[in-house]
Amino acid sequence: MATPRFEESLKFLKKDVHLGAFVIKHGPITHRRKHAGHAFQSLAEAIIYQQLSGKAADTILKRFIALFPGKKFPTPDDVIKIKTEKLRGAGLSGQKAGYLKDLAAKFKDGTINPKLFKKMSDEEIVAHVVAVKGIGEWTAQMFLMFTLHRPNVLPTGDLAIQKGMQRLFKLRAKPTPARMEKLARPWAGHRTLACMYLWRLMDGVK
């Protein structure tokens, strides 16, 4: 992790009675991180990737970007102006094309204003982002973790996190959201990185 907050989280979690040994064994976790200034791009990509394999989504994303020659990624204005038929031609479903149009419109009219994010709590940002059609709580939480780099996110609805906690704490069944919150109390302030290690814990486990 490159940010000071995640370096602090790494140091903290190494001392955790349950997760510490695993953290030390596997070392720092690296991942593809987006700068917070790319909020529109991050959320647009999240919509495109929904319910698709990585390879299929990568192909559609490239076709989508190719609709806007000379740009690394389209602006909300670009997406508002382009015809839905062209988005469909890039491989997007009509539903996802509608979601992207709605996302662009909400950035354009200020319903989503990334300039306010620094002053907003995690819960406020989630409520802000799920106003977009096609974006639910889980996607909003991933946005917090990987785009805004918020250090204390616990996506209790994530199946791999549920199973990771079940395995780590040797539980008979997957924990409820309330129990997950309780189990994660010792990780307060560092739950984002803890979740990344829970995902790592579950890698390759069926």
Whether 158 is a known active-site residue: answer yes
| Same domain membership, residue 187 and residue 103 | no
| Same domain membership, residue 92 and residue 19 | no
Write the CATH number for 66: 1.10.340.30
Active-site entry in 77, 102, 109, 158: 158
Place of tokens 């670009």: 78
The total domain count for the chain is: 2
| Same domain membership, residue 141 and residue 41 | yes
What is the spatial distance between Cα 7 and Cα 13, in angstroms, rounded to a whole number? 10
| Same domain membership, residue 193 and residue 121 | no
| Same domain membership, residue 196 and residue 107 | no
3-class secondary-structure state, position 113: coil
pLDDT digits (tens, 9 = 90+) for 130-145: 999 999 999 999 999 9
Q: Domain end: 146, 165, 194, which one?
A: 146
Model pTM score: 0.88
pLDDT digits (tens, 9 = 90+) for 53-88: 778 999 999 999 999 999 999 999 999 999 999 999
Range of the domain at 192: 4-30+153-202
